[in-house]
Structure 1
Amino acid sequence: MSTIELPARINASPRPAPGKKTRSVPDWLIAGGLTVLVLILLAWNIDGFPTASDDEGTYLAQAWAVQEGRGLAHYTYWYDHPPLGWIQLAALSWLPQLLVPSMIAVTAGRIAMLPVQAATLLLIYLVSRRSGMPKWGAALALLACGLSPLYLTMGRQIYLDSFAVMWILGAFALALSTRRHLWHYAAAGAAAAIAVLSKETIVIILPAVLLALWQNSARTSTRPWAVGSFFTGLVLVGGFYPLYAVLRGELFPGADHVSLIGAWQFQLMSRSGSGSVFDSSSGTNALIHSWLYYDQVILIGGLVAAMLTLAVRRLRPIGLAGAIFTLVALRPGGYMPAMYVVQVLPFFALALAGLIVTAVTRLEPRRDWWRAVAVGVFVAVALTFVVPRWYVGAERAVTNEDNAPYAQAAEYLDTRIADPAGTTVVVDDVLWIDCVDAGYQPDQVLWFYKLDLDSAVAERLPNGWRDVDYVVSSPAMRDNTSGLPTVAALLTNSTVVAEFGESEGRIEIRKVDKENAR
């Protein structure tokens, strides 16, 4: 593959005319101002859109367990995701809940994620600049990610992927450091390790971070030391989790205990796949179409840009990250999580901005009227194809009230149940913390999946569904009763005592009919 070098002039400021003084807007002001703009859009109606997901509730419950010192889960302990993501969430989530205790837990958790998104946007700008882009190109990368309707949707939600993306972008920024100190490279390795310990799936783009470091250290005689420093930081920080498993005797699979390697085997090999993206009936295909529903511009444009930037040396690490994400998404038979796109968006935005910078720089016409034509074409395309689509997505994000039924259900469970401490209630994970905060005993608030899939939870219910007092029926529960006979029996043998919302999005408080089984 031929290599295209970004011309040096993209980082050079034009010389001022004699007798004239020019003031360049500082990077911190551009990045800070644009980040504040995006954060306002993220925070506006954060409690109303999008609909709270069960995964958000699960991660919040894990963070609550860390805060309360109850272990790493509110259900049977095993090596799920590494715990560092939950620990970071626990450190951030206490303040919103303390300041506004009346809001539901998911809203408080979403507000706690705003500093993470702010750091991510600032790092996108920094990585752009250190990849050779001018200020306007770095601003374009930040806005391409931050204003995407897909980001305004997924960026509001509580996902461990957001922590991983923040740290891996930090690793890129350190690997591309213009000072090229060895401690920068060691810190890059440490940041990459923290990213993996926040969400292990980010490990797939470590080769892109290493490529950035390799290229950045090309002009020094310390490249071997730079690579060694990176791996030192990576191993010293990343090794704590396997060491924890070793000390507990839980590194390798065995009888009567969970194991770290066993969890990896489940995540990478034995977990049921979601099918091929090329199969119209597969879960992966449906998921990608749902992403495209929110934003085709950044996904399709970013994909093309990532492939093309592989030919641009300074942008090749970004292109490689985008290419790896794409290949993993296209693999047949693998499992595709709904939040996978959270990791993809920043790198597609970086690739898209980098490609535009390269085109403008290399194809910049010598005559001003050609420049005006090029700018006019770009603005026309943006106004015709990008702005209308993004406006609709942004309007949905700031106006929809999808979570009102959850807030009403949480208030009912808090005020209308006579004896919360003596009541056993089955919920989805969105309302788990709200029930605990309302006075229900943590071991009597049961995540519906665990009724049939967790033997420790089943032992608490010797009479099965008859030991449950209330079940809170939500879309997440109603859509996932296959293979969960106890949950199905609960929904069949219960009566609606309160209902919030309409149609498929309704939340029902159902009292279990213990005497009249159907």
Structure 2
Amino acid sequence: MAVRAWGIGNYPFPNDDEGTYLAQAWAVQHGELAHYTYWYDHPPFGWMQLAGVSWLPSWLLPDLPTLTQGRIAMLPVAAAACVLTYVVGRRVGLVRPAAAAAMLLYALSPLAVVLHRQIYLDNFALVWALAAFAFALSPRRHLWHHVGAGACFALAMLSKETIGVLLPVLLVALWQGSHRSTRKFSLAGFGSGFLLTGLFYPLYALLKGELVPGAGHVSLLGSLKFQLGGREGSGSAFETGTDAHQLFADWLTRDPYLLVGGGAAAVLALAVRRLWPVALAVLMLVLVALRPGGYLPQMYVIQALPFLAICLAGTAQAVVARLPGKPHVRAVAAVAAALTAVAIAGPHWYDQDRTIAATDDNRVYRDAAHWLRDTSVGDRSKVRIVTDGVLWLDAVDAGYRPGTGVIWHYKLDQDPAVTKTLPHGWRDIDYVVSTPALRGERTNLPTLGALLAHGTPVATFGEGDGRIEILKIGGDA
């Protein structure tokens, strides 16, 4: 946890999704599901949890940028995932040292460290999914544990729906974790917990009259259709130049040892029956990631990391256990395997984790947040300013009017509730906080492009493509 916490507000560079989820958590704290029209882009339970854990950092450390406050709030989520990795390792037959090794492999992997720092719904979903596996594999085989497994996995999907690909694997774990004579009750209990918990989401949409598409309103099924087939694919991971290929390359640069070693161990783990659930989880997630033409998000790998670590530790334990000789010989072999792993991966992990802890990529965002809070621009309740998702909540905290006073740049051309307040288009805006994420959308959003073309810099933070500029709108370019 110290590795995750050191410099947590400085690295990595913010992803606009982080600001979006923070703003949606702020909306939950104020009695809404989203800071603009909730259009069922994801189930809301993820940012409901974020709302529950983010109030303490914002109360204790009010002077920090909201991004840093939100990342601090992710630390207990990361801690829970590490503990549950140990528990699941024990439930699939790992001895205590092997389960602890799996937890350390997961906890110290540079890929896990950097992704756990970020405010992603996948981190919440993973905790619930690991809890579901822990319940399903409980050695007590209690019916209520299997009901709990179903409820936990429903909460995982209500945190981030993409983790639903693990449902078949969880059923395999439940089959292993239940007794033959009572298995039908276990399956029925699991199904009850899963359905009764998961159906709250479509029931909400139904009661709102927003389950199916229709004129003048958003809908759950319409958004699901967009998520499944309306998004541009990431291409093939095997084709150079595609987004998927670049994403795999970035993951492997961070940590080739856990990804490649864990993937190979997952294949070998299929020979060990108790390891089937974690091995199948890895293989299922890899197959989905490698499917051609699908959309592959940056944070997708979060779901696979603990299962990769357990596969590595479990396979090593299985190999050592099959060595001939007395117990002390196997103990020496286990220590030798651990030292070999440290010698191979340790230097790379140390360099990567040190870079994560010591690098400061986010000074420009901190400076922009301070500008929003400290610079006088007149009556902030009447000033209209456009920001990206990351700085939206900083502007709200600084006193700008949420929604149509401080405007998330995506909403300029896509939300009728916003566009109807802009009868003169870009001329109705006073300032734009021009960030890399915002400039990247200028060709897709005509009003945003016009704003950037008619803005005059009044403050600039940083240089090059990573700079942030405060643009005052008016006149010609």
Q: Which has the larger radius of gyration?
A: 1
Match of 2:17 in 1: 55
Question: Within 5 A, what are the aligned runs for 1:205-224?
Answer: 205-218=166-179, 220-224=180-184
**Measured at CA, do residues 365 and 447 of structure 1 come closer, stay the same or move farther in structure 2, by a change above 3 Å?**
farther
For each residue in 1:207-232, what CA deviation from the matched residue of structure 2 results, as whole angstroms up to 9, or x when unmatched?
Answer: 111111101114x4101101111001
For each residue in 1:378-420, what CA deviation from the matched residue of structure 2 results, as whole angstroms up to 9, or x when unmatched?
Answer: 524531x301110111111111111111111111111113222
SS at match of 1:422: coil
**Distance in structure 1 (CA, Å) of the matches to 2:333 and 2:158:** 49
Question: Under a length normalisation based on structure 1, what TM-score does the superposition of the two structures give?
Answer: 0.89
Amino acid of the residue matched to residue 208 of structure 1?
Answer: V
The answer as to 2:97 corresponding to 1:125 is no
**Distance in structure 1 (CA, Å) of the matches to 2:369 and 2:471:** 14
Match of 1:407 in 2: 366
Match of 1:335 in 2: 295
SS at match of 1:255: coil
Match of 2:2 in 1: 40
**Distance in structure 2 (CA, Å) of the matches to 1:216 and 1:43:** 36
The answer as to 2:321 corresponding to 1:358 is no
Of 98, 108, 118, which aligns to 1:137?
98
**Distance in structure 1 (CA, Å) of the matches to 2:51 and 2:329:** 56
Amino acid of the residue matched to residue 187 of structure 2?
Answer: V
Match of 2:57 in 1: 96
Match of 1:313 in 2: 273
For each residue in 1:280-327, what CA deviation from the matched residue of structure 2 results, as whole angstroms up to 9, or x when unmatched?
Answer: 121111111111121111111111122221221101011111111001
Identify which range, 289-298 or 369-378, moves more after superposition. 369-378
Match of 1:246 in 2: 206
Question: Within 5 A, what are the aligned runs for 1:292-307?
Answer: 292-307=252-267
**Measured at CA, do residues 491 and 365 of structure 1 come closer, stay the same or move farther in structure 2, by a change above 3 Å?**
farther
Amino acid of the residue matched to residue 354 of structure 2?
Answer: E
Of 286, 306, 317, which aligns to 1:346?
306
Deviation at 1:348, TM superposition (A): 1.1
Match of 1:108 in 2: 69
Question: Under a length normalisation based on structure 2, what TM-score does the superposition of the two structures give?
Answer: 0.96
Deviation at 1:371, TM superposition (A): 6.5
The answer as to 2:465 corresponding to 1:504 is yes
SS at match of 2:456: strand
The answer to whether the 8 A contact 2:18-2:118 is kept is yes
Match of 2:47 in 1: 86
**Distance in structure 2 (CA, Å) of the matches to 1:480 and 1:290:** 23
Of 435, 444, 447, which aligns to 2:405?
444
**Distance in structure 2 (CA, Å) of the matches to 1:287 and 1:233:** 36
Amino acid of the residue matched to residue 18 of structure 2?
Answer: E
Of 86, 95, 108, which aligns to 1:147?
108
Amino acid of the residue matched to residue 128 of structure 1?
Answer: G
**Distance in structure 1 (CA, Å) of the matches to 2:129 and 2:83:** 13
Deviation at 1:172, TM superposition (A): 0.5
SS at match of 1:51: coil
**Distance in structure 2 (CA, Å) of the matches to 1:371 and 1:248:** 61
Deviation at 1:183, TM superposition (A): 0.6
**Distance in structure 1 (CA, Å) of the matches to 2:337 and 2:184:** 46
Identify which range, 55-64 or 412-421, moves more after superposition. 412-421
Match of 1:164 in 2: 125
SS at match of 1:221: helix
Match of 2:386 in 1: 426
Amino acid of the residue matched to residue 414 of structure 1?
Answer: R
Match of 1:25 in 2: none
**Distance in structure 1 (CA, Å) of the matches to 2:375 and 2:230:** 44
Deviation at 1:86, TM superposition (A): 1.1
Identify which range, 152-161 or 493-502, moves more after superposition. 493-502
Match of 1:271 in 2: 231
Of all paired residues, the percent bearing the same amino acid is 52
Of 339, 349, 355, which aligns to 1:396?
355
Amino acid of the residue matched to residue 237 of structure 1?
Answer: T
Match of 2:158 in 1: 197
The count of corresponding residues between Structure 1 and Structure 2 is 475
Of 118, 132, 141, which aligns to 1:180?
141
The answer to whether the 8 A contact 1:427-1:445 is kept is yes
Identify which range, 271-280 or 231-240, moves more after superposition. 271-280
Structure 1 regions of 5+ residues with no counterpart?
A: 1-38
RMSD (CA atoms) = 1.6
